[in-house]
Every structure is written in C-alpha cells, then in structure tokens.
Amino acid sequence: MDMLWSGWGDPAKAAPLPDTVTGLLRDLLGVTPRGSGPTALDDIAVPGSPLTPEAHRALADCLGDPAHLRTDAETRIRHTRGKSTPDLLRIRAGEVDDIPAAVLLPGSHDEVLAVLRVCAEHQVAAVPFGGGTSVVGGLAPERTTFVALDLRRLDALLGLDEVSRTATLQPGLRAPRAEALLNERGYTLGHFPQSYEWATIGGFAAARSSGQASAGYGRFDEMVLGLTVATPEGTWETGRAPRSAAGPDLRQLVLGSEGALGVITSVTVRIRPLPQERVYEGWRFASFEAGAAALRRIAQDGPRPTVLRLSDETETFIGLAQPDRIGSADAAGSAGCMAVVGYEGTAAANEECRTGVHQVLLAEGGEHVGSEPGDRWAHGRYNAPYLRDALLDAGAFAETLETAAFWSAIPELYQGVRLALTTTLTDAGTPPLVMCHISHVYENGASLYFTVVSAQGEDPVAHWAPAKHAANEAILAAGGTISHHHGVGTDHRDWYATEVGPLGVRVLQAAKAELDPAGVLNPGILVPPRHP
C-alpha cells in the first residue's frame, strides 16, 4: 500500500476532528474552516519528464525490467518532497515544482551502483527514497533534473547472527516489516519513532532517527554496526567490529549523511531479545521543571526504563500526548505535567526496574497516576501525523520541530524557542499554541520536541517561514543542535552550517567531492554544493 499522497499514512485511517477540537481551535486560535481540501490528484499539472532519451535509456538499462523505471504522473507526484507541513500544504495546492524526472526501483546493490554511474555520466541527480517521510526537505534537492531511487525492492533480511546478536537488513525494509522478520526469530530492533509505520531502515540510518523507546534501546545510530554504501565511485563498506581504535569511525560519517555521500544498501544492526512484557504508566509532576529534574536523575543515575518522556504544562493540558482526548473534560481538568514511563523486557527485569524508578520519581515529587495514561500513549503513539492532516483540513496550521542540548542549557532552550514561536506568530496575527515534550533523555542532556498549532494565515507556507526561522535562531542561540532526530535536509542547511562551522562544512564538502565528483548525490542537501 502506498501512503496518502497529500498527507500521512493509510487513507483509511484518516478521521475528521471531533467537534470539541474544532470549537477549541475557533475559540482559542481563531481558526476558520478553509473552503477547499486538496487538489485532486488528476488535476495536478505535471510537466513531462525532463530526462533526455539517452539518460532514460541508460538508466533503464541498469534495471532488470522496464517497469522499474517509472515516469507516470502519479508515481512522480507520490515521490515529490516529504511530509513536513509546508510539503503537505504545497502538494495539497498542486505545486509540483520539485517533482522527480523519474522514479527508479533498483533491486540490488549492483543496480544502485550502475544507476549512480549513469547519473554521474548524464548529470542527473539521484535522491534515495525510503518511506518518503522526511520533514526537513531531505527529498527536494537543488532545482535540477533528478530521479528518485525508491528502495522498496531492497527489502530483505540478509542475515541474522544469533551469537553476536546482529542482523543485516536492506534499506527499503519498512520498520514494521523489519520488526516482523526479527520477531519471527525472537528478536527486536526496538526502534519505534513516530514515523514507524512508514519509515525504512535506510532512512533511519541516513537521517539518524531516534525512537520512542530510545531510553532503553538507544538511538538508531547507536544500533548500527556496519553499513554498505553505493557511491558513483564504487562500493564503500564500513564497520568491521563493534568497536575499534582503527582511525576515525567512518560509520558515523555515513550515518546522518542523508543521501549526500552515497546510497545505503545494507545496514547491520544490533538486535535484542523480544521483550516478554511491555508496561507503560503515567506520572504527574507539579511543573515541567520538576519533571525534567526527575527525568534527569533517572537518566544520570538510573535505573533506566525503556520509555521516558515528559509533556510540558500546555501539552499536558491540551492532552496532545493522547490525541483522541484533546479537549475532553478530564484532560483539561488535569494540572501539572504528565510523564510516560515504559518498561520492556522480562517480567522480572521490568519489575525490578519499575521498583527502582518509582523510588526515584516519588523522591522527586512525582505522583504515580497508574497505567491508563501510559496505555493510552502507547495506543495512540503513531497517530499525531493523522491528526495533523485533520487540522490542516479544518483550516489550522500544525507543525513540529525539535532540538537537543546539554541539561544545563535545557531551561533557556525551552523558553527561547517558545518565545520565538509565540512572538513571531502573534505578531503575524495568528497567536499559536506551543506545546513541548522531552522526547529523549541522555546522561548529559535531552531533546525537546515542540508542536505548534495556529490559524493558517493567508499564505500558510509563507506565514510559517519567519516563525521557523526564529525558532532555528533561538535553538542555536541557546546552545541547542538544529536537529535531534529530524535531520538537516534543505530546511536546516543554513543553521547546520553555523552549527558545524566553516571547517565542518568544508570537510563534508571534501568527502562529498571525493565520493561524488559529479555532484549528483542529493545535491544541496546537508551542505551547499562546493564552489557554487
């Protein structure tokens, strides 16, 4: 099944907003219904493929079957940009100026290698496409002729080493399928980001994804032990041992490279035994500050549960942590901040960890509010993107952004980003609701995940741009990273350049020039092309 072209996920799961929410949006934010929904797919004016006949033929020759090179309008539309709110607003309006010239479906590492060689020869750019879930412009390269490399045919579990507890996966495997293949053998990857239902293994690696169970299972980049990469210059293999002192860790150069250094064609990951039991529970804290202090204590001194997240007062009040309860009486009636704590493992290990966690959270002033909030969170954990579609349909604007910093910088980062978003959007006449949660914790810091809802304004894409700009500036000013788990893409590129500094940019450009001398790999993503 393909994802909804104009929004998120399985079209059958789309649901309109409850009347209570529509009322809240109107009364609180001045959201008024828009007249029309998305343009019809058939009404979108798609330009002909700009591929030259020579390039078309040479690319087709790389693939076993002519059906694996597609230039029909629908396929091309479905591979246009990603799933950020501006992406959705533009595709809903029928804007397809970033449309690929063709969609290729390579079936092997060697086919990807061949395609990249042809791309270099014909000056056609290549954009790897996994789940298509980028929210940072990672699929919209600099205006140029490009093909999307849809990796869905590379969907095998290539190997599983039970002694070493590693699995080698192809990049086009969607997360639920990868998880099912591992589950059959008694293992789990433990990687459950919000994009779980659609995102792929290759995308997780290329964009340094982080899942909702990261407290227990770690980030995706921490799970990766080896990578095979296809580049225009040939095959690049990294990762010979779990840890090594043999030079720089080149795996860490591939992770986060977002298709700019090569196309990841296999990923060897650490796997863990399937948990016997998954237990989630809710905790209430008097304030975001108090809750954050409690999470910090757990992150630094343990015991470490598998899931650990904390909504701020606004998010708790609105109940976004439980989307299906938004605006309901009991969500609105709850004061303070809600945390979700989860335990995944053997029953005995869960019980032991839970006892220790309870001791710490009680000492930190937490109130245990039972399993119901945890279960509701677990039940609705992948639903927020569906909710966004409904909000857009209702005439609201909704977007998320995220960052991470050392613990000591978290209070200023939290206040700075909220202020930037609130001021910018209020000045523009659409006062927003800004919600935040701590989504991931580490010994030395944490991530902050913000959700913004407001009225759309006249031109919603243009309306949002200054707010996003101000949030990015606030993130850097407060010492945060421009992205904790969404990536850089084109949307964050300028701030990323500030974050890594001119020498960091030059090193990446030099690596890219070496692996991709023709500059055809997702050009303009991550770093600007060299000597433009």
Q: Show binding-site residues.
A: 128-134, 258-264, 388
Assess contact for 344 and 190: CB atoms under 8 A. Answer: yes
Is residue 305 a contact residue for a second copy (CB under 8 A)?
no
Phi, psi dihedrals of residue 433, rounded to the nearest 5°: -100, 125
Q: Choose, by CB under 8 A, the member of 515, 518, 520, 521 that binds a second copy.
A: 515
Residue with tokens 């990687």: 191
Nearer to a second copy, 217 or 280 (CB): 217
How many residues bind a second copy, per CB under 8 A? 86
**Nearer Cβ to a second copy (28/293):** 293
Chosen residue from 84, 350, 403, 451 binding a second copy by CB under 8 A = 403
C-beta of residue 338 within 8 angstroms of C-beta of residue 389: no
Residues 498, 32: Cα–Cα separation, whole Å: 38
Which among 380, 360, 446 is positioned nearest to 197, based on CA atoms? 380
438 binds a second copy (CB under 8 A): no
When binding is defined by CB under 8 A, the residue of 91, 99, 199, 253 that contacts a second copy is 253
The two three-digit tokens of residue 82, written as one number: 């990603």
Region 462-501 residues binding a second copy, contact defined as CB under 8 A: 479-488, 492, 496, 499-501
Give the range of 53-61, 123-131, 172-180, 513-521 binding a second copy by CB under 8 A: 513-521
Does 359 bind a second copy (CB under 8 A)? Our answer is no
User: What residues numbered 151-170 form the site for a second copy, per CB under 8 A?
Assistant: 161, 163-166
Interface with a second copy in residues 112-151 (CB under 8 A): none
Residue 437 binding a second copy, by CB under 8 A: no
Give me the torsion for CA of 29, 32, 33, 35, rounded to 10°: -140
Q: Which of 373, 395, 445, 460 binds a second copy (CB under 8 A)?
A: 445
Element of type H or E holding 109:
helix 109-122
449 classed as catalytic: yes
68 binds a second copy (CB under 8 A): no
Name the active-site residue from 196, 217, 414, 449: 449
Side by side, the strands of the sheet bearing 69-70 are 69-70, 102-104, 146-150, 125-129
Q: Does residue number 32 form part of the binding site for a second copy (CB under 8 A)?
A: no
Q: Which of 67, 245, 329, 531 binds a second copy (CB under 8 A)?
A: 245
CA angle 210, 9, 206 (to 5 degrees): 35
CB neighbours (10 Å) of residue 479? Answer: 16
Are the beta carbons of 413 and 442 closer than 8 angstroms?
no
Q: Identity (one letter) of the amino acid at 164?
A: S
Q: Determine the interface stretch with a second copy among 42-50, 91-99, 171-179, 244-252 (rule: CB under 8 A).
A: 244-252
Residues 268-287 within binding reach of a second copy (CB under 8 A): 270, 273
Q: At what angle do helices 288-301 and 410-427 cross, to 10 degrees?
A: 140
Locus of tokens 């940019």:
505
Identify which of residues 59 and 175 has a Cβ nearer to a second copy in the complex.
175
Hey, which residues are catalytic here?
449
